[in-house]
A and B are shown apart, each in its own frame.
Chain A
Amino acid sequence: MNIKEIQDDIIDEFSMFEDWMQRYEYMIELGKALPLIKEEYKTDDNVIKGCQSKVWVHADLEDNKLVFTADSDAIITKGIIAVLVRAFSNQKPQDIIDADTQFIDDIGLKEHLSPTRANGLVSMIKQIKLYAVAYQTQIAKPTSPQRGS
């Protein structure tokens, strides 16, 4: 599935919930299934700067696709990063760079986009995109000139 299809799936799932509590409970469940970052990558340097909860994200390149792992010390934040990892993991860097993030609004997480929100959703997306840019640059070096799309 491409990013758009996964995002549409996520939107469908969240649309089944009638109230915020069910949405949050589902997000907490997603958090529990998050592919966890290796402890060795949970360093202070890898912390995404948010004011309140700590979030770590790591990316590995496998078959020219990025595989994300992550963790957070707060459960809701862990659910949020799990949603993002699901939407962007196993995708080509260029596709991640090009992807839009409208689905965040569609599943009712828009409130977490405000810069004052301490979970730093904006920073998480930025970090995921930065990984994609970094690996895209690596892929695009002379040995493998074609651009993923």
Chain B
Amino acid sequence: MIHTVLDILKIREDFPILKRKVNGKPLVYFDNAATSQTPQYVIDVIVDYYSNYNANIHRGVHALSQEATDKYEEARIKVQTHFNAAHSHEIILTSGTTHAINIVANGFSSLLKKGDEILVSAMEHHSNIVPWQMLCERTGAIMKVIPMSLDGELLMDKYHALLSEKTKLVFCNHVSNALGTINPIKEIIDAAHAVGAAVLIDGAQAAPHIIADVQALDADFYTVSAHKICGPTGVGFLYGKEAWLNTLPPYQGGGEMIAEVTFEKTTYAGLPHKFEAGTPNICGGIAMGAGLDYMNSIGFDAIAAYEHELLEYATDKLLQIEGLKIYGTSKNKTAVISFNVGIIHPYDIGTILDKLGIAVRTGHHCAQPIMEFFQIPGTVRASFSFYNTKEEIDVLVEGVKRAKAMLE
């Protein structure tokens, strides 16, 4: 038995929300794959911003604007350092992963032509499907799907067979939000590059568990949302290789993204500002950097080891419930368990669990093609974080048993 090196009870003290009750019961928060909770350290950074240096950035000559700009740019460098980007201007701060993907999908509108092919994995979130379908409608490019196995693993031989000189883009998540599978993205990227295709990796679900080194991976684009990594909602980033970001046209027009504007012609600002039109979520960007600082203070190796321990414990305990089936059984997965119990609708189980103070996700997890693949209306998804405990998993297991007794 592995014993964690983390002092979980002390870590839990950092999260004020974990002290609250829901429906009269202590909150058990297992919806971390949707949104991670916010430590006091990050809340303090948000309060400090609005209390002490709230100002618009990049333009003001006054002290507050300068301070806000410095902190915002520091956050960009924190992201660059954490994900090992070659340059800070390769980090485009966005409203989140969806925004980041749309920047790339929109940019490729002028680069694709009829008959070009783009490949997307079978386990994508809608946000990594719909923008590319729209791109195909605009350009006449064709989308093909990399299939997966019943374990929820991509069929890599099929992937290699789909690649050709027609392939221009490949999209894949680093970790599946619905199944937790960690995809072999290095192999995916290298094979795509061999045929001259660019690769976008949706890192939203990987970022809380794994440090992606974008240079070592050789990813062309990598996207993350702050609310998965102890930061606030409504902010995230797009990493793009400098050459690609210079090639893609800007996504939105507006202030901040220009060099010079006349009514005849506008010249665009350089990176990263070319893709950052308008006043950004300044406080959110700074808080995203603080979220990374907080997680690094705990350490991603320790987090990954402990979460794996939680995953094994929960998998073992849940599988003891008769009729419980887990979807996504790859050996290589993050601390996410998607399951159903017999023919009970996931919504029913989620409703009863909520009554017991347990927060899980139910439904199709914005990944309807996966549910179609398994021929189910949805699943119950419990996703664990480093501040969760085995005692909480016991509460979940008892809750599922109780729900089962009521609903069968």
Contact = CB atoms under 8 A, between A and B. Distances in A.
Interface of A: 20-21, 24-25, 28, 51-54, 73-77, 118-119
Nearest to B407: A75
B363 A73 contact: no
A97 to B, nearest CB: 30
A52 B407 contact: no
A29 to B, nearest CB: 11
Contacts of B23: 20
A51 B361 CA distance: 12
B355 A20 contact: yes
Interface in B323-381: 344-348, 351-352, 355, 362-364, 377-378
B2 interface: no
Nearest to A53: B347
Top 8 A-B residue pairs of the complex, sorted by shortest distance between their CB atoms: A74-B345, A52-B347, A52-B363, A74-B347, A53-B347, A76-B348, A75-B348, A74-B348
Interface of B: 23, 344-348, 351-352, 355, 362-364, 377-378, 406-407
A52 B377 contact: yes
Given A24-B352, A25-B406, A77-B348, 9 more contacts: A21-B355, A24-B355, A28-B407, A51-B363, A52-B377, A52-B378, A54-B377, A75-B348, A76-B407
13 contacts: A20-B23, A20-B355, A21-B355, A21-B406, A25-B406, A53-B347, A73-B345, A76-B347, A76-B352, A77-B345, A77-B347, A118-B363, A119-B347
Contacts, number: 46
A118 B347 contact: yes
A52 B355 contact: no
A145 B407 CA distance: 48
A73 B377 contact: yes
A51 B365 CA distance: 10
Contacts of B406: 21, 24-25, 28
A77 to B, nearest CB: 7
Question: Which of B345, B377, B406, B407 counts the most chain A CB atoms within 10 A?
Answer: B345
Contacts of A76: 347-348, 351-352, 407
Contacts of A77: 345, 347-348
A77 B351 CA distance: 10
A77 B407 CA distance: 12
Contacts of A20: 23, 355
A101 B407 CA distance: 27
A65 to B, nearest CB: 32
B87 to A, nearest CB: 41
A52 B360 CA distance: 14
Contact of B362 (A25, A52, A54, A75): A52
A127 B346 CA distance: 24
A118 B363 CA distance: 9
Contacts of A28: 406-407
Question: Which of A24, A54, A75 counts the most chain B CB atoms within 10 A?
Answer: A75
Nearest to A54: B377
A53 B344 CA distance: 11
Question: Which of B345, B348, B363 counts the most chain A CB atoms within 10 A?
Answer: B348
Contacts of B362: 52, 118
A68 to B, nearest CB: 21
B370 to A, nearest CB: 15
Contact of A75 (B345, B355, B378): B345
Contacts of B378: 52
A73 B23 CA distance: 26
Contacts of B363: 51-52, 118
B394 to A, nearest CB: 19
B316 to A, nearest CB: 28
A20 to B, nearest CB: 5
B377 A53 contact: yes
Contacts of A73: 345, 377
A77 B352 CA distance: 12
B377 A75 contact: no
B346 A52 contact: yes
B35 to A, nearest CB: 14
Nearest to B345: A74
A133 B355 CA distance: 36
Nearest to A77: B347
Contacts of A119: 347
Contacts of A24: 351-352, 355, 406
A54 B144 CA distance: 30
A52 B344 CA distance: 13
Nearest to A73: B345
Nearest to A74: B345
Contacts of A52: 345-347, 362-364, 377-378
A118 B361 CA distance: 11
Contacts of B355: 20-21, 24
A75 B363 CA distance: 15
